[in-house]
Amino acid sequence: MKISWKAMEVVTAAATGLIGAVVCYGSLENGIAWNSSGPEPGYFPFGIGCLIMLGSVGTMVQALMKRSVAPVTASATGGEIVDDDEPFMDTRGFRTVALFFLPIVAMAAISVWLGLYIGMALYIFYAMRVSAGFRTSTSLLTAAIVVAVNFIVFEKLFMVPLLKGPILEYFGIY
């Protein structure tokens, strides 16, 4: 799997353009015209949506034009130094980023369900044991330390309660 820079540029520009269209559509619901009390609430966002689409089209055109431009002139105009051989992302890069990001998503999901402390404990254990390859005992200890430090910093020092979740509440920790 290879995603080239150009493909990524075009896809991103298309995505931002789509967001622009959604913003325009959303502001239509609030009214984009003028009434007796001045501009309606959608007036300003509608303009923003249009400018997002304008910028996206410009970005896309620039990305597509790059192919036709000879490498020498591209560097002379101070364009980004992009090696055509190196893709935006290859399978290895995708795996690395996904293996880092997905556990964070999992931690978020668990935290929403069972509370932040349980979420972070499981996540740190996973990251230490599986991703970094430490021994089980070391990983358990690190997880315990991280939870303890966060508990002291947030609950005791700064009095900012974090989400506890049903399990901790069952044990009477609010």
Partner 1 sequence: MGNFGQLMDGFAIALTTHHILIMVFGVLLGLVVGVLPGLGAPNGVSLLMPLTFTMEPISAIILLTSMYWGALFGGSTTSILFNIPGEPSSVATTFDGHPMAKQGQAVRALTLAFASAGIGALIGVLVITLMSGWVANFALRFGSPEYFAVYFLAFASFIGMAGGSPFKTLVSIMLGLAAGTIGMDTISGEGRLTFGINELTAGISFLIVVIGLFGIGELLVTIDEGYKFEGVKAKLSLREIFRTLAEMPRYWVTILRSALIGCWMGITPGGPTAASFMSYALGRRFSKRGWNFGKGEPEGIISPETADHSAGSCALLPMLALGVPGSATAAVMMGGLMIWGLSPGPMLFTSQPDFVWGLIASMYAGNLIAVVLVLATVPLFAFILRAPFSVVGPLIAIICVIGAYTVANHVFDIWLALVFGLVGYVFKKLSYPLAPFVLAVVLGDKAEDAFRQSMLSSGGTLRVFFETPLVATMMTIGIFLLLLPLITRVFGAVFNSGTKRGVA
* Residue whose CB is less far from partner 1, 34 or 173: 34
Q: How far is the CB of 131 from partner 1 (least distance, A)?
A: 5
- Judged by CB, which is closer to partner 1: 15, or 172? 15
Q: Could you say which of 97, 144, 167, 173 contacts partner 1 (CB under 8 A)? A: 97
If binding is defined by CB under 8 A, does position 41 make contact with partner 1? yes
First CA to last CA distance, the chain: 47
With a CB cutoff of 8 Å and minimum separation 6, the contacts of 122 are 107, 110, 143
Question: What type of residue is 117?
Answer: Y
Q: CB of 30: closest distance to partner 1 in angstroms?
A: 6
Q: Which stretches of 31-164 are DSSP H helices?
A: 43-65, 71-76, 91-114, 116-126, 136-151
Question: What six digits make up the tokens of 128?
Answer: 């230490």
Query: Going by C-beta distance under 8 Å and a sequence separation of 6 or more, which residues neighbour residue 28?
Result: 42, 46
3-state helix, strand, coil in the chain (%, to 5): 70, 5, 25
Q: How many CB atoms neighbour CB 67 within 10 A? A: 8
Looking only at residues 126 through 155 of this chain, which bind partner 1 when binding is defined by CB under 8 A?
A: 127-128, 131-132, 142, 146, 150, 154
Q: Is 54 near partner 1 (CB under 8 A)?
A: yes
Q: What residues line the site for partner 1 (CB under 8 A)?
A: 5, 8-9, 12-13, 16, 19-20, 23, 26-27, 30, 34, 38-45, 48-49, 51-52, 54-56, 58-59, 62, 77-78, 80, 88-89, 93, 96-97, 100-101, 103-105, 107-108, 111-112, 116, 119-120, 123-124, 127-128, 131-132, 142, 146, 150, 154, 158-160, 162-163
